[in-house]
A and B are shown apart, each in its own frame.
Chain A
């Protein structure tokens, strides 16, 4: 799987490269600034890109803007944005185009390499990977969710992070059918159209909690 890495701190860039190569990714470019990233994304069209929010030259949100810009010219280009902090606002902006293949994670998540690589693969396959922290914040700002039972809330949070049915059932120690039942209940309570496709379902949930109602009926 071909990947582009954008990270300005040398140690982290080298560490990420080593980690991904250990999991059989092919790092086609490892860049350290916003303009280089945009050029690399358009030149290599990688299967997935790992992008730090804050990059030279301005050390503001170069990486995020480059990712959004690249996804505008190449819709669906899979990007995982890494940051020292997660913000609802950035998550909303990343999800605003409604397309699939977006990830937004805290840098700490790299510590758990298996989960991190799993998230990358999910995004590369057109899925989503949202950090639990940002999902919690997004859900806290959505009042109608109060009607969900605690268990349904847990399922919703995992689903919003971008996990599949199988992953959810494994995480919560539930049977597949129980998870399906919970999901059906959640979709019923939120008034969303059910779908068998994991990725589509996740997008519907995210669209709902970010208030992006135009995607509730895919």
Chain B
């Protein structure tokens, strides 16, 4: 009986390589039904190991994911993408479930290797009987048993190497762009400039893709301003004059693109990168695939004598070597890329200068607008009232003896007027710098704003001291703008404000409204962003349609030690 079973196991192993090839293709293409169908073999092998070989093995697969559920807006979300109907996302989800399961890849390895070992042990059973069956069972458990970290190690590296191969293939596009740049540079010399402009601009898109992959910033200089006409309406470029702005605009772009040292570095990188990727990325991929092919062929064609036997171990060694050094080579490639594509020190300084120029202009604009508003309010309000009161008092002076009754009435009027003027000035002061902010600092000023807000606003503030007055003021008005926005547009019923200081000031405003806040849409968020920009502060907007909305601002600043908040929370 045991001998018959051994023969059966050997026969089962023989179909492995063919299935392995199909399985690999199906996994790469994401054909989940085929992968699931092939899974029956390792599942059967585990069952047989338990039933025949007395080595029970549990199935190690990840649980089936639940079907995607619709979001509030009716769309289906899978892996950060939205779908209108559930079928495609469900399919994608299953494909990801299979390919991210280490056990799937282990099954694949087993299909490749088992024809050698499994067949040998199966045949051995015919000779040694039951003992052979137990060996077979242990072998199956070693490969198909509970999950171990090493299949993931292999999987991660295979994915990385295949990804590198993709980068290597894409580097040829860079070579093409570099060659075309050379040709169009020659064209530009004879006066046809637009191909060079278009090419360099597109090359920047190409290199930016790599910059994002290795995580470095753009190094380019800011785009040139639109040329301005001379007093006679013509445009001057060097010693030449043009009637229409078309050519001056194009020339300005050309000088901007070609005059930037980063363009030269891009060109050099695109020219040399194919060579680098060939050695660092394509080579390990080739070694891996060649090795895999050698081992598979050797196993499949075991019985053929013309097979050079040593190719199989060599192929195995090549694959393993590729897996071991693949990530290191990839790191070298990334370093090479970032050395050439990252902004140089002067490029970084140039960008910083540009940013400072922008934010300074914003700050000056905001200040000027603020001063104009204050001037208008004072002029229309308090100033006018003082004039009126002065006139009324003059009349009182005249009437005092003749008509004391009217004089008394006028004085009452003047007194009422002082109250109104005081109220107006109070509101004005509140808009310039709220008294609570001056008296108590940011945390209490935000608490007061929360108390005055019609919605349910919860404030959690934890500031160990006072901030610089300009930062305090900017942060306060930003928070008020955000809270007003939330109350006006989001339909929220609750708002939560967190104020926290840790090296920098971080304020989060969270509301349970309908979301969809977009800095590009209204001027409110844009204004806040601009105002914070003066302090190198940033505003992060997270507001998916359907809500909730979380707005986070961060302002780098120092904390002064004076502490004035005594806030004994009343409730």
Question: Out of A68, A89, A92, A111, which one reaches B436, CB within 8 Å?
Answer: A89
Least Cβ–Cβ distance between A58 and chain B, in angstroms:
7
Q: 1/0 per position for B400-438, CB-CB distance to A under 8 A?
A: 000000000000000100110011001001100001101
Q: Which of A107-152 contact B (CB under 8 A)?
A: 108, 111, 137, 140-141
Shortest distance from the beta carbon of B177 to any chain A beta carbon, whole Å: 63
The answer to whether A53 and B568 touch across the interface, beta carbons within 8 angstroms, is: no
Does A89 lie within 8 Å of B422, measured CB to CB?
no
Q: Are B435 and A85 in contact (CB under 8 A)?
A: yes
Could you give, for residues 196-218 of chain A, a 1 whenever the CB lies within 8 Å of some chain B CB and a 0 otherwise?
00000000000000111000000
Q: Is residue B451 contacting chain A, with contact meaning CB distance below 8 A?
A: yes
Nearest chain B CB to A69's CB is how many angstroms away? 9
Count A/B pairs, Cβ under 8 Å: 66
Any A CB within 8 A of the CB of B385: no
| CB-based contact A88/B451 at 8 Å | yes
The distance in angstroms between the C-alpha atoms of A93 and B436, with both chains bound, is 13
Chain B residue, CB-CB nearest to A92: B570
B77 within 8 A of A: no
Assembled-state Cα–Cα distance A212/B568 (Å):
13
User: In the complex, A140 Cα to B453 Cα: how many Å?
Assistant: 10
Question: Which residue on chain B has the smallest CB distance to residue A69?
Answer: B566
Q: Is the interface of B mostly helix, strand, loop or mixed?
A: helix
Q: Which residues 65-94 of A sit at the B interface, judged by CB distance below 8 A?
A: 65, 68, 83-85, 87-89, 92-93
B141, chain A: closest CB distance, angstroms: 67
- Contact partners of A89 in chain B: CB under 8 A: 436, 440, 444, 447-448, 451, 567
Cβ–Cβ contact B426 & A93, under 8 A? no
* B546-571 interface (Cβ within 8 A of A): 562, 564, 566-568, 570-571
Q: Please measure, in the bound complex, the distance between the C-alpha atom of A108 and the C-alpha atom of B424, giving whole angstroms.
A: 12
> Is there an interface contact between A53 and B439, defined as CB atoms closer than 8 Å?
yes
Encode contact with B along A45-69: 1 for CB under 8 Å, 0 otherwise.
Answer: 0000000011000111100110010
Residues A93 and B568 in contact, CB atoms below 8 Å apart: yes
- Interface residues on chain B, size class: 20 to 34
Q: Which residues of B contact A137 (CB under 8 A)?
A: 451-452
Given known pairs A54-B439, A68-B566, the reply for A108 and B448 (CB within 8 Å) is no
A65 adjacent to B435 (CB under 8 Å): no
Closest chain B residue to A54, Cβ basis: B439
The reply to whether the CB of A28 lies closer than 8 angstroms to some CB of chain B is no
**Contact: B564 with A87, CB < 8 Å?**
no
The CA-CA distance from A211 to B571 in the complex, in Å, is 7
A65 and B566 contact, CB distance less than 8 A: yes
Query: Given contacts A61-B564, A212-B570, A212-B571, is CB(A84)–CB(B448) below 8 Å?
Result: no
Contact B566 A87 (CB under 8 A): no
Binary A-proximity of B444-461 (CB < 8 A = 1, otherwise 0): 100110011010000000
6 smallest A-B Cβ distances: which pairs?
A92-B570, A61-B439, A60-B439, A211-B571, A88-B451, A89-B448
Q: Give me 29 A-to-B residue pairs in the complex whose CB atoms sit less than 8 angstroms apart, sorted by A's number.
A: A54-B438, A60-B439, A60-B564, A61-B439, A61-B566, A64-B439, A65-B566, A68-B566, A83-B435, A84-B426, A84-B429, A84-B435, A85-B429, A85-B430, A87-B435, A87-B436, A87-B448, A89-B448, A89-B451, A89-B567, A93-B568, A96-B568, A96-B570, A108-B418, A108-B419, A111-B418, A210-B570, A211-B570, A212-B571
Known A-B contacts: A92-B571, A211-B571. Give 10 more (CB < 8 A): A54-B439, A58-B564, A64-B439, A84-B429, A85-B430, A88-B451, A93-B570, A108-B419, A108-B423, A137-B451
